[in-house]
């Protein structure tokens, strides 16, 4: 493991140089990787592992026609590499449990009986284990329980892999029954195409993940964009101007500079007027949202966010309500303006 200084805090991380694909292939050569769920993370991790020469099968309910058809379209063959969730669990030795959190709770009574001595149960989210008092997901004592959590959507995990790069992932071992849990974890992490791997625990992974999704990564980002767009529109700015100043410049210019060399690099490549204003208002925004983040984090670690997620996602009308909420966002003036703005981008 490499020791890296992250601003005065030294962390041990695992890179592809220290843990090459050839080592991962050797560790996994006698394993059958059964990926349960072909929804968000499943396709990316499955296809990346397959392309990396690792033995992969898929477990997917045929009743969920959309995802079953998606698996067929991607080349998985029924009876050969595509099975029911229960059959795949029976055939696998490393069971990658990648169905939704609510789905994991619902399917656990059917999956658990098919886990065998020495198997590894793999997660990409600590949710079901950390909140087992709510989910009921309590693995048997005779298996390894491990985690590799890519820090990106399944779409990004696959796209970065195809570009020859990788999404960074965290990893953790919850239970080491076989004595090989760590090497299995790291081999899977390299196998799914991670850029590098950094250690965590199941608890820290789920606490940071739930906070990040509700905060900067999605919830806060959407909310701040809506607030600024609505303010500009209220003061007579056109939809095009309001959207460009709120979203388009961020996604097409500024965030790319942050990605390249950090926030200070982005600031240094903007006008002196923009720099001064941003440096001053940065502190005001931070102070304004700190109480919101404190409230959010407490809601996460208390299990309240878990309760909300499981109740909502287990409801029979969950999909209809979700579609309605997403449609409300999509049909708002702001995102209708976004559709038009994206359509006006010059084509290559």
Q: Over 258-269, what HEC string results?
A: HHHHCHHHHHHC
Taking the C-alpha atoms of residue 201 and residue 185, their distance in angstroms, rounded to an integer, is: 13
3-class secondary structure, 35: strand
CB 169 within 8 A of CB 200: no
Report the DSSP beta bridge partners of residue 12.
3
CB 115 within 8 A of CB 143: yes
Of 2, 14, 34, 3, nearest to 190 by C-alpha is 14
Residues near 338 by beta carbon (within 8 Å), at least 6 away in sequence:
243, 247, 248
Taking the C-alpha atoms of residue 90 and residue 36, their distance in angstroms, rounded to an integer, is: 11
Tokens of 72: 């067929």
| 125 labelled catalytic | yes
Catalytic residue among 114, 125, 177, 207: 125
Of 195, 164, 146, nearest to 19 by C-alpha is 195
Catalytic sites, residue numbers: 125
């Amino acid at each position: 493991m490499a020791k890296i200084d992250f601003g005065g805090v030294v962390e041990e991380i695992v890179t592809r140089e220290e843990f090459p694909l050839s080592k991962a292939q050797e560790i996994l050569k006698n394993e059958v990787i059964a990926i349960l769920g072909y929804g968000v993370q499943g396709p990316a991790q499955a296809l990346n592992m397959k392309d990396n020469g690792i033995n992969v099968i898929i477990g997917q309910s045929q009743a969920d026609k959309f995802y079953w058809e998606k698996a067929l379209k991607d080349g998985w063959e029924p009876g050969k590499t595509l099975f029911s969730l229960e059959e795949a669990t029976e055939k696998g030795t490393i069971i990658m449990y990648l169905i939704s959190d609510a789905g994991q709770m619902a399917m656990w009574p059917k999956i658990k009986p098919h886990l065998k001595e020495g198997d590894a149960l793999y997660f990409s989210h600590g949710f079901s284990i950390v909140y087992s008092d709510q989910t009921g997901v309590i693995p048997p004592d005779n298996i390894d329980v491990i985690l590799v959590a890519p820090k990106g959507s399944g779409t990004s995990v696959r796209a970065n892999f195809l570009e020859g790069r990788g999404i960074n992932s965290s990893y953790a071992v919850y239970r080491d029954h076989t004595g090989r849990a760590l090497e299995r974890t790291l081999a899977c992490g390299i196998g799914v195409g991670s850029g590098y791997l950094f250690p965590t625990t199941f608890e820290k992974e789920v606490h940071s993940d739930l906070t990040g999704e509700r905060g900067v990564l999605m919830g806060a980002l959407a909310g701040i964009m809506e607030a600024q767009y609505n303010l500009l529109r209220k003061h007579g700015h056109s939809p095009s101007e309001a959207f460009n100043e709120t979203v388009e410049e961020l996604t097409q210019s500024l965030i790319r500079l942050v990605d390249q060399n950090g926030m200070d690099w982005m600031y240094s490549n903007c006008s002196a007027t923009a720099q001064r204003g941003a440096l001053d208002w940065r502190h005001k925004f931070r102070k304004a949202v700190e109480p919101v983040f404190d409230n959010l984090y407490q809601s996460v670690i208390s299990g309240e966010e878990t309760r909300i997620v499981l109740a909502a996602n287990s409801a029979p009308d969950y999909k209809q309500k979700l579609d309605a909420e997403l449609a409300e966002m999509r049909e708002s003036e702001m995102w209708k303006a976004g559709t038009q703005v994206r359509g006006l981008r010059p084509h290559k």
